Amino acid sequence: MKGAEVQLLVDDLIVGLDIGTTKVCAVIGELQSGNTINVLGVGHASSGDGVKKGAIVDIERTTQAIIDAVEEAEKSADVVIDNVYVGIAGAHICSMNSQGIVAIKGNNQEITSEDIDRAVENAKTAISIPPHQDIIHILPREFVVDEQKDINNPLGMIGGRLEAQVHIVTGAITAMQNIMKCCEMAKLKVDDVVLQQYASSMAVLSDDEKKLGVVLVDIGGGTTDLIIFQNGHVIHSHSIDVGGRLVTNDIAVGLKTSTVAAEDLKINSGVACADLVDSQMQIDVPVAGGERIKQYPQGYLAEIIEPRMEEIFFEVKAQIEKHVSLDVIPAGVVLTGGSSLMTGCPELAEEILGLPVRRGMPVNITGLKEQVRNPKFSTALGLIRYGAQNYRTPTREKGAFSGIVDRIQSVLKKFFTD
């Protein structure tokens, strides 16, 4: 194959990079017909102590983890990549709903793309964004023409007044700068930074669930991130400052073992709902600082895990009830993220939330399907889908945090396509 043809092939690929508290995942893929992702390369590496609660705290360690994950993905795909779409999460993430209203100009009062841009821009300027924060997403919820509601695409309609209702997500500038710096040091160019749970929703939720009303809960290592959809659009997003790593720490303290052993116990023997434990089951626990093994009932491990998981789900419930009635979430709750794999997680969530709960696996995957059909790859796979929908329209060409108008137009294009 000629060099130009090889380059064309590489340029057609999209890379999702998930920089998490416990791991960095890199997935190389391409979007095929039917919204199917063909996965060509997968890599992952431990974050070490480079990331805490979703935010980078050690540039060198995080950069090395990114390099290791990307090199592993490149090796399995037999390509070299330069561009990535990166997920972002953490307690610094804020979100709010806003609206912008404009009068329609012109004799025929036909709504143009410029009118839509003005309405969305007014919605952006209607809120006060702290100086240390920058906009990550402006996601249209609906448009209102005069008094007609529930309009997805007002382009070409006749009216005298256009209202844009949007969901705005912001993040700490320093957190985004650190992501950009780590990627730059790893010789990677960031096409866009994407809200982690928004990316995950693209990998595990169906369009029907989003239209009916659904809550996605992404339980990561450092944070638990949720996003609520109604009528196909985002109405709320939030980050809870509790994740799987705290469960691991609780186990280490409660069973007096190392964090490595505690993580292994959580993954292989952990149960989130104590009622589901076999009372006769015993687990082997390495004693910290020695080679001795001590046995405990599995129920004791579950009694350590359950309160922390309850804390997460009660906070999720509070967030849902604060922004929408539980009665209007007919599609229920979808759990994803590595910690959602724990036995009893859906059952405990269903008991607390009073809603149907399922575990969300990435869907419509081909290629290295068996390697990535796991909730811990939801964000990375969703980033590929996001990248395909905004294909080769990087928003940060003119600087790390410029290009807001371009980003709005990109979102509107996707919004209208849906």
User: Over the chain (418 residues), what is each successive 10-residue block's mean pLDDT?
Assistant: 43 91 94 90 92 90 96 95 94 94 87 93 93 94 92 92 96 95 97 96 96 95 94 93 92 93 92 91 87 91 96 95 89 94 95 95 93 94 93 44 45 50
pTM of the model: 0.88
Q: Is 169 helix (H, G, I), strand (E, B) or coil?
A: strand
Note whether 255 and 265 are within 8 A (CB): yes
pLDDT tens digits along 156-175: 999 999 999 999 999 999 99
Q: How far apart are CA 2 and CA 249, in angstroms?
A: 53
Measured in whole angstroms, the distance separating CA 26 from the mean position of its chain's CA atoms is: 14
Strand partners, 333: 215, 357
For the chain, which domains are there? 3-91+173-204+362-399+406-417 (3.30.420.40), 94-170 (3.30.1490.110), 207-360 (3.30.420.40)
Strand 333-336 vs strand 357-359: parallel, antiparallel, or unpaired?
parallel
Q: How far apart are CA 219 and CA 312, in angstroms?
A: 9
Note whether 13 and 81 are within 8 A (CB): yes
The pLDDT score that the predictor gives to residue 391 is 65
> Which element (helix H / strand E) includes 232?
none
What does the DSSP assignment read for 356-400? Answer: -EEEPPP-SEEESHHHH-SGGGHHHHHHHHHHHHTTT--S-TTST
The pLDDT score that the predictor gives to residue 406 is 46
